[in-house]
Amino acid sequence: MRDLGRVVGALVAGLALLVGCGSAASAATLKASYLLQGTRASQTAGAPDLVDLGPGNRFTTETIDGAPRQVLAFPRGGGLSLATDGLVDPVSHSIVMNVRLDDVFGFRRLLDFSGGDADDGLYDLDGRLVLYGAGSFGGDADPAFDGSWVQVALTSEATLTGPQWTVTALNGSPVQGAATPRRFRLGADGLRFFKDNVRGPSRREESAGAVACILLYDGALTTAELRQVAVDPLCPAPRPVAPEQLGFTPGTYVGRTSQGLPIGLEVGRTSIQYVEFGWRARCADGRVHRNSIGLGGAPIRNRRFSVFGVLTTGGRGRVRGRLDGERAHGRLSRWAGSAFDTTCVARGIRWHAHLTR
């Protein structure tokens, strides 16, 4: 995407550094609450409806905390917008949402304050929550996005020194803080969710996914209030599923194929995030070739998965498998054209892998 030095991920241990500079904090008041139960309207009176960005958004049912719940699913390139002019202070406000992303690798837009004009905003970056465009301010937060549901919050307030102070939180726990420039203030174009900028650099940094609820407050939520919102029944933070309930343990799995070549998988709670494996085959040119393949993610259902991808080096690959406790096994294939200017087919290769410690 860009200069990662501009990615902000300061841990909350550094918050006191800027709090000491003085701020103009005010009590946070709920101004809009979207529970997305078949409608894009707010439960809180006086707030405008959410508006679809692009076609494809649809209401569907997913399981959250072990129970079915209606949510609004959005395709990659879809999303939502909200008119915030006159609803909340453009500098001092708070946003809370329960969201699930299908693809968590690379930059995936969560919030845009520019109406689609700027690259700056709130993103998932390889599973981590980051503010992009606020200048370098330390390391990044622990991974949080793995294809499962998570509550994301952003609070912003004015400071006495000029820039606004922005804090992000996951499931009620603050994880980042930064002084953010004017590009993070809400303007006449309001707020955009999940859709990347359509003008300027680095477009299409988006993921399909779903959103269960969105709350908007006038004023910055305090740390205690963030914890309270996470357990409030209006839009509670999803509870993490224990590994014993999943039937497998998320993490990094490594192993070998029946060809004696390596395979590795990054396993989340609800999805396979990445697979890489080696292959060997006698190809159409009569020669034996070998190479390695990296494939993107796929959902896990009943401990089973099937990861498919079109390869940048030519051809296609697929890995099917099953997760059992701390072990995984299945079959993989690679076929069609290749980087060797020939056609290579290697089908039905068995593989086994185990969780690394």
Mean pLDDT within 311-324: 88
Nearest partner of 129 among 147, 108, 114, 156, judged by Cα: 108
Give percent of the chain above pLDDT 90: 60
Q: Residue 279's pLDDT band (boundaries 50, 70, 90)? A: very high
Collapsed DSSP state (helix, strand, coil) of residue 5: helix
Q: How much is the pTM?
A: 0.73
- In this structure, of 148-152, 202-206, 225-229, 284-288, the range with the lowest mean pLDDT score is 202-206
Which has the higher per-residue pLDDT, 141 or 312? 312
Least confident of 1-5, 221-225, 310-314, 336-340: 1-5
Degrees (nearest 5) of the Cα angle 272, 278, 281? 130
Give SS3 for 170.
Answer: strand
Per cent of the chain over pLDDT 70 is 89
Q: pLDDT at position 99, please?
A: 97
Per DSSP, 54 falls in state: S
At 12 the pLDDT is 36
| DSSP assignment of 245-261 | HHTB--EEEEEEETTS-
Segment 275-280 mean pLDDT: 94
> What does 191-260 look like in DSSP terms, one character per residue?
EEES---SSSSS------EEEEEEEEEESPPPHHHHHHHHHSTTSPPPPPPPHHHHTB--EEEEEEETTS
Sole residue written with tokens 């690679």? 334
Residues 11 and 154: their CA atoms lie apart, in Å, by 14
* pLDDT for res 84: 95
pLDDT at 5 over 50: no
User: What gap in Å lies between CA 229 and CA 191, rounded to an integer?
Assistant: 21
Residues 6+ apart with CB under 8 A from 39: none
- pLDDT above 90 for 221: yes
Average pLDDT over residues 200-223: 92
Residue 17's pLDDT is 35
- Rounded to the nearest integer, the mean pLDDT of the chain is 86
Assign 182 to helix, strand or coil.
helix
Residue 106 pLDDT more than 90?
A: no
Q: How many residues does the chain have?
A: 357
